[in-house]
Amino acid sequence: MAYNIWLALGLNGNQTGDFIGIVNAPIDKLIDQAIFSTNSIEYMYYTGEQGYQKNHIVALTYKKVIEDGMALGDIFYADDIEQTLIALYGEYPIAGESYKDHFTDGDGIEYYREEGLFLQRFDWGGARKKPLILNLTETDESIVCEFIVVDPWYFGDHFGYMVTYEEELTPENFIAETAYLDVLCFTFRYAADYGRPVLHQVKSLGKLKDYPYTFL
């Protein structure tokens, strides 16, 4: 389940805010986060010195972006972004509509509707945050996960996690280091196809220092 949560997070954790059901979620934030779980286009294949298809829509869009003076990050097919959203949140629930009907620009991406492409406005640095599950409740219909997000880090000879720069989380400092982190609650429901879990609800539960944990 930690992996399912991680796939739905952006670089800096969850940026969508609370929502119930995909139609109530901010599509721009969903797309901003979905790019981190979507394969980008190898655009140098089209645009580099050895590019084979200079008139391909990717090459033409790349050229336009450069001419407009924009910082170029990764490029994604809108169809691929839609497939990522379907994998994470299930099929769009309104009959006759799809995610693509609601595609728009986000904070970190620009949507080229006619070209069917998304451009990441700049490259991201650093490691993507990861969830630490505090509590998990599973029923026949849903899985409810309460968690915090922390930074992965390599501590000289091993991988670990941190909140404060280069201060590794340990059993001894865990409470002090994580006290003011947000506790998030993701509720997954099982999709009709194959029963895979898809994210249905996001809810903020406040700071960890106020979380009624009983496992310590």
pLDDT of residue 72: 72
d(CA 184, CA 144): 10
How is 45-70 classified by DSSP, letter by letter? HHHSTT-S-TTSHHHHHHHHHHHTTP
Q: Which of 64, 69, 1, 76 is nearest to 33 (CA)?
A: 76
Beta bridge partners of 198: 189
pLDDT of residue 47: 60
Q: In what order do the strands lie in the sheet with 109-112?
A: 75-77, 117-120, 109-112
d(CA 200, CA 25): 10
What does the block give as tokens for 121?
A: 């406005």
d(CA 201, CA 141): 13
pLDDT of residue 49: 59
pLDDT of residue 97: 95
pLDDT of residue 48: 59
The helix/strand/coil state of 88 is: helix
Buried-state track 153-190, b at ≥16 Cβ within 10 A, e below 16: beeeeeeebbbeeeebbeeeeeeebbeebebbbbbbbb
d(CA 194, CA 163): 37
Q: What are the per-10-residue average pLDDT scores of the chain (216 residues)?
A: 94 93 95 92 67 73 79 87 96 94 90 92 76 93 95 90 89 92 95 84 94 64
Cβ atoms 110, 76 nearer than 8 A: no
pLDDT of residue 60: 83
